[in-house]
Homo-oligomer: A and B are copies of this chain.
Amino acid sequence: MALVVQKYGGSSVSDAERIRRVAERIVETKRQGNDVVVVVSAMGDTTDELLDLAEQVNPNPPAREMDMLLTSGERISNSLVAMAISSLGEEAQSFTGSQAGVITTSSHGKAKIIDVTPGRVRSALDDGKIVLVAGFQGVALDTKDVTTLGRGGSDTTAVALAAALNADVCEIYTDVDGVYTADPRIVPDARHLSQVSFEEMLEMAACGAKILMLRCVEYARRYNVPVHVRSSYSTKPGTMVSGSMEDIPVEDAILTGVAHDRSEAQVTVFGIDDKPGNAARIFRAVADAEINIDMVLQNISKVETGKTDITFTLPRELGQLAIDKLGELQAEIGFSKLVLDENIGKVSLIGAGMKSHPGVTATFCEALSEAGVNIELISTSEIRISVLCQESQLDDAVRALHKAFDLGGDEEAVVHGGTGR
């Protein structure tokens, strides 16, 4: 008998009919002899409707109350799924994040899981029940207030529960049947991957692949929880994310795929006096505004002027904030100009095989050059190459790289619309 944690996104439970179908799948898993713990996101549009109501009463609502409001969404979907399961003859019990022992920091709207103490979940399982846990939420260790985990929080709840319960697998049900070598909406012959290592999946997520959120993969890797990404709409096997890249024999190491990201903007600070501490001051100002930066480039300073430029990328919605914060530093640091470019895209090639295949960077750059894509910035890790280009050229860049590295398969991918949180 295995212990299986399953997570269903909001589109999988968007109405009563879909809730019944999800319940059938859960009951089937139980009747195959497994203990089953299920994490469900809020139903389809619930979160947007609640956000809209909040906006109407207060355009700038307190984060604590926002968490109180939004967590009701998962409470509704989880209790409904429990009812549907019970109508199929199995006993089910739903728990809030707090009841399930999901302990978090008190950072409302973006709390981090500190610990999971699933005593009530465990005893309900021991009683033969199917357990539902509201995803995306927890309770703050210090204030005892209800918190939310931010985007992708339900996936993280599922993985954290799987880790705490020492589950055999964490199944993440979504609109697609797993991870592909590229987004099938851009590359029609993108190939389905049956297995990806944690490290590769981390790089994919960090580079914009939307299948799993970065935090969730980090959690799974840290606690070594195998994550099976599957489709809510079919029973065929998905992608198993598990194991370390280190365990893959060198000759089997391959290139995983091409990821892309449209969510970043680029800020360039021109004409900075090239003195020690100026770059640090710039990045400190950005960090103090709680902005995470991604790629960074500092030009070699021009000998004749002693000036340098710094370019970095950051989440697009925070671009203006960064410009405002840096503007306040202009007198102190004495740079000449700030430019925000919101029309950029990032394309990345990921794979453990990169280490053992020489010439990947050369092929990478040639492919983009042949496709007429200008590289604006480049960064690499042991198993990844990423470049920044104009957003309008991003799809071409993805297709060119996918083709150049021969990542395609024979079957066309099947894609369903929408994603949960």
State in angstroms the CA–CA spacing of A376 and B62 once bound together: 59
Q: Are A80 and B57 in contact (CB under 8 A)?
A: yes
- A50 on interface, CB distance cutoff 8 Å: yes
Asked if A267 CB lies within 8 Å of chain B CBs, one says no
Task: State whether A80 touches B84 (Cβ < 8 A).
Answer: no
Chain B: minimal CB distance from A81 (Å): 8
Alpha-carbon gap, A144 to B19, bound state (A): 26
Chain B nearest Cβ from A104, distance in angstroms = 16
From known contacts A71-B75, A72-B72, infer whether A65 and B86 are also in contact, taking CB-CB under 8 Å: yes
CB <8 Å contact, B87 and A57 = yes
Whole-angstrom distance between the Cβ of A66 and the nearest chain B Cβ: 7
Say whether A82 contacts B94, CB under 8 Å: no
In the complex, which residues of chain B have a beta carbon less than 8 angstroms from the beta carbon of A84? 57-58
A246 to chain B, nearest CB (A): 44
**Chain A, interface size: which category?**
35 or more
| Main secondary structure on A side of the interface with B | helix
Q: Tell me, yes or no, whether A61 is within 8 Å of chain B by CB.
A: yes
Q: CB-CB < 8 A to A61: which residues of B?
A: 83, 86-87
Q: How far is the CB of A276 from chain B (nearest CB, A)?
A: 45
Contact A78-B68, Cβ < 8 Å, known A16-B53, A57-B19, A99-B144: yes
- Checking B65, B96, B99 against A83 with a beta-carbon cut-off of 8 angstroms, the contacting residue is B65
Contact indicator A69/B76 (Cβ below 8 Å): yes
Chain B's nearest CB lies how many Å from the CB of A279? Answer: 40
Distance between A278 CB and nearest chain B CB, rounded to angstroms = 40
Q: How far is the CB of A225 from chain B (nearest CB, A)?
A: 27
- State how many angstroms separate the Cβ of A317 from the closest Cβ of chain B: 22
Residues of B within 8 A of A16 (CB): 53, 56-57
Instruction: State whether A58 and B76 are in contact (beta carbons under 8 Å apart), knowing that A92-B65, A94-B65 are contacts in the complex.
Output: no
A105 within 8 A of B: no
Interface membership of A60, Cβ < 8 A: yes
Residue numbers in B under 8 Å from A365 (CB-CB): none
A59: nearest chain-B partner, CB-CB: B87
Whether B71 pairs with A83 at a CB distance below 8 angstroms is no
- What are the residues of chain B within 8 A of A80 when measuring CB–CB? 53-54, 57, 65, 69
A79 and B60 contacting across the interface, CB-CB below 8 Å: no
Minimum CB–CB distance from A102 to chain B (whole Å) comes to 15
Residues of B within 8 A of A69 (CB): 75-76, 79-80, 83
CB under 8 Å from chain B, chain A span 2-30: 16, 19-20, 23
Indicate whether A197 reaches chain B with its CB closer than 8 angstroms. Answer: no
Of all chain B residues, the one with the shortest Cβ separation from A81 is B57
- B residues less than 8 Å from A76 (CB atoms): 50, 53, 69, 72
Are A86 and B62 within 8 A (Cβ)?
Answer: yes
Taking the complex as formed, is A224 at the interface, i.e. its CB lies under 8 A from any CB of chain B? no
Interface residues of A (CB under 8 A from B): 16, 19-20, 23, 50, 53-54, 56-62, 64-66, 68-69, 71-73, 75-76, 78-84, 86-87, 92-94, 96, 99, 120, 144, 146
For the complex of A and B, 7 pairs with smallest distance between CB atoms? A16-B56, A72-B72, A58-B87, A68-B79, A69-B79, A58-B83, A61-B83
Besides A59-B87, A75-B75, 11 more A-B contacts (Cβ < 8 Å) are: A16-B57, A20-B57, A57-B80, A57-B87, A62-B83, A65-B93, A68-B79, A68-B96, A71-B75, A72-B73, A72-B76
